[in-house]
Structures are given as structure tokens and as C-alpha cells.
Amino acid sequence: MSVEVYSECRIQLSPINGKNIDFNRCIIELRQYDIGDYALRAIDMNNDKSEIFTCPLIRRNQYIFAPSVNEPDILNITNSTYRLWLNKNSRDEFHKILRTCLEEFLIVKDNDINLSSQQQNQQRSKTLLNELCTQEDEPYYRNEEPFDCITCMETIEKDEGILFHNCLHPFCKPCLLRMIETSTEPIIKCPHDNCTALITERELRGVAKDLKTDQKVIGRLNDIGVRFAESRNKTFHCITPDCTHWWFIEPEEANNMIFCNGCKRWICITCSAIHEGQTCREYQDAKLREMNDGNVRKDEEQLEAMIKNKEVMYCPGCRIIIQKISGCDWIQCSQCKIEICWPTQGPRWGPKGHGDTSGGCRCRVDNGKLCVPNCQNCH
């Protein structure tokens, strides 16, 4: 079995006798089980990836293609009609491959003149599937026959290799581990030529466990996947710490609030924040005030440090901030015109003005003693 193509979509179920049921976030897959043996399978991504339906394709008119992206495709299943609005980015590729299967492979199947050969192939496929069903509880399928690994060319004996769930191609476990360790992509595809099937995380973890490898090597792929999802234009990753949930976001979606089933919080995708009980405007205003308050606190702390290091001072007369870059230790405030002794950072003269040393700088007044040891002696 292999997944030939898939697309994100929205699905509406219309039973003959019953109310319409909407599934808002789904994946529709085209699966091949054998030559001319195809089925469509739908998965509900909002409900733990539960299956909505699996529909074998037996008639070419069973699937009706919509003429435009705004109209739904129609899939008729016994007693029910499913309407599918495909994601516009993957719709064309999905239609192209599905049309090929319906118009070519099903015709081949219909016109197969060697009915006996077809029945024998189907019987062998059913036998293999029955054998694999007994391994459903295992992390991966074991190879029932020896094979030569396409990478290392070694012969892998029965039960020593792996058959990938999605395509049943055989592969060597050590070679798969090397792929895991060196991959720079969030997903690993089957290495067989022209195969686009994806290898599941369950299979990767099973091989890592068998080869006694640290499971962090698988966690690394998950981290790559999260970064990949965040980098896409139409995805949004939950901002709550340790929450790994993310969503596909369509441009036409008007609602900017998303409820995360992981952390059980409402996330605003416009603000990329949790602001329950606040509008976007209220949240942005509060954030701006907080940022401004932080800048003020930062400026005040920087000023206090400069005063402590005597890089600046408050004027002893009017309390404005004064800074001396160079020059004489005598300075005058440009605001209140008071004369200042920079080394003592006090007034140059006392209250009686020029020459009054009673309340100002006393440099060389007391037996020639300087006001401070590093006084430049120019006042």
C-alpha cells in the first residue's frame, strides 16, 4: 500500500436521512493497494486523526471534480454524499493524480483480459496483507523474505529488516538509522526510486530502539518539523511553552482567535499572544506602556550608575544633570549660573558669593591642602 497523493481539505457529510456534519480540518489521501486497486481515505485532524471514511474507487463517475476552487468536489458513497473543499495549494496536484487513476488505471483494470492472473495477484496481496495484520501491534512490519538492501547492498535475512507501512518497500535497519541521524528534513521518505511514501515516526522509533540508539535522535526530527511548520506562511505554532500543537491557517479566515487543544488556551494569531479578556488594541496598548516603562527604568538605572561613577552630577543649585567631558575642574551651570567645583561636585563658593570659602570648595584654604587628591588645581 502507498499514499499516491494527499491534500488538506474541509469535508461536509450529507446522509440521505440525517443532518449535515462538518469536518473543518481534514486530510484526504489517495491510496494504492494493488494495480488498479485504489481507495480514498479521509482523516479528521481535529479529532485525534480519526478516520472519517475509506472508500474503494470502483467507478469512474464515483468522484465528481468541482469546476472551481470555491466549489466542493463530490464523492458518492452508499447512502451518503461527501462534499470536499480542497486546499487551493494542493488541489491541482491532487486532481491530476486522481484523474490519472480514474481514467487510466481503472480502465486497465476493467480491460484486463488475463482475469486469472489478476485474481492470483490479488490473492497474493490479500495473503501478504493478512500476514502483516498479525504485526499491527509491532512498530514496523518485518520482511517475510531475504532481500538486498538498495543502499549498502548487503543481503538482509528474514525478519532482520523492515517493510515500510505506507509502501511495503524493504530496507536495512542500520541504513535507515543513518538516514535519521543525517536528515535535515522534518520527514523521511522511502529511499526507493520514485516512491513518495513517508516513513512514520512509529517505525523510526522502533528501529532506533532495536539498535539501542538514544531516542533523542527522533526528537531531533520533531524539532526540525516544528521549525519547518513555523517557517511556512500558512501555519501557526502554539506560543505556550512546551506545547507542540500547530495549525494550518487559511488567508481568508477572519477569526484571529484559535483554541489550542494542547494547552487549553485561546491564542490570538494576530498578536501572536495570549490575551484572554482583552481586545487586540487593549493588549497592544498595555504592551507599549510596559515597554516604555521598561525603557524609563533602564534610563534611570544607567543615570544612577553614571552619577555613582562621577561621570555626571546634579547641579547643586537647580538640580539639572551636568556632564563634564574635559577641561577645567571649575564649571558653571548653564541654567542657574552657579559656579561648581567638579571634584567635590558641590558649589565653588559659599552663600556670600565669589571668594566665600565658608560653604563651598576649600581647595588650598587649609594649609594648601587640595580639595581632592586628583584636583587639577585650576580653580
The angle subtended at Cα 75 by Cα 24 and Cα 100, nearest 5°, is 110
Judge residue 7's burial from the number of C-beta atoms within 10 Å of its C-beta, 0-12 exposed, 13-18 middle, 19 or more buried: buried
Q: What are phi and psi of 15, to 5 degrees?
A: -65, 155
Cell of 254: 477572519
- Give the C-alpha distances (Å, rounded to integers) separating 249 from 24, 126, 246: 12, 40, 9
SS (H, E, C) 29-89: EEEEEECCEEEEEEEECCCCCEEEEEEECCCCCCEECCCCCCCCEEEEECCEEEEEEECCC
341 is catalytic: no
**Any idea which residue has 567631558 for its cell?**
325
CA 61 to chain centroid: 39
Cell of 203: 517505525
3-state SS, residue 131: helix
Candidates 152, 318, 328, 336; catalytic one? 328
Q: How far apart are CA 218 and CA 179, in angstroms?
A: 11
**Any idea which residue has 495570549 for its cell?**
274
8-state DSSP, 332: E
Residues composing the chain: 379
- Give the C-alpha distances (Å, rounded to integers) separating 190 from 172, 175, 176, 291: 12, 12, 10, 50
The angle subtended at Cα 44 by Cα 185 and Cα 224, nearest 5°, is 15
Residue numbers annotated as active site? 328
